[in-house]
Structure 1
Amino acid sequence: MANSPQSKKRARQNERRFAVNKARRSRIRTYLRKVEEAIASGDKDAAQAALKECQPELMRGVSKGVFHKNTAARKMSRLSSRVKALG
């Protein structure tokens, strides 16, 4: 348990950051799921549109420190190749 004033403040800050990061991660996962669903339905136009919406969200997550840069790049690469492979 935090005892000093500084450690109590750090605990409060960590809780707030955790909530913000959790919301960001959830939002990004929603965009990723939309792309996955569009790929699963076989609709190339919808998949491309969803991918175009997803990319800035992913990169924003990188700049905010939620995801590592290579993780986001890997996700975008795999999704874009799957969209490209659609009919």
Structure 2
Amino acid sequence: MAEPENLVLEHLRAIRASIEQLEARFEARFDGVDTRLDAVEHRLDGLETRLDGLTHAVIAGFGALVHRLDGHEKRIIRLEADRA
């Protein structure tokens, strides 16, 4: 019969091997998650850049429209003043 001390060591070694296998599996899964998360962050950065560009374009377009409307409004005021 094996000594009790040796049985405990055998069980601890078996547990350690199981834990190491689990750690390896989790590490591989987390590496995959990290890779996917990096890809998502990269895509979000690209979307943010495009959104900033679109925002500037919309603001510029709106500014041009307001400027044109101001010009029309001034002409209308002048025409109404000439009629009076």
Q: TM-score, normalised by structure 2?
A: 0.45
Of structures 1 and 2, the one scoring higher in RCO (CA 8 A, sep 6+) is 1
Q: TM-score, normalised by structure 1?
A: 0.44
More helix by share: 2
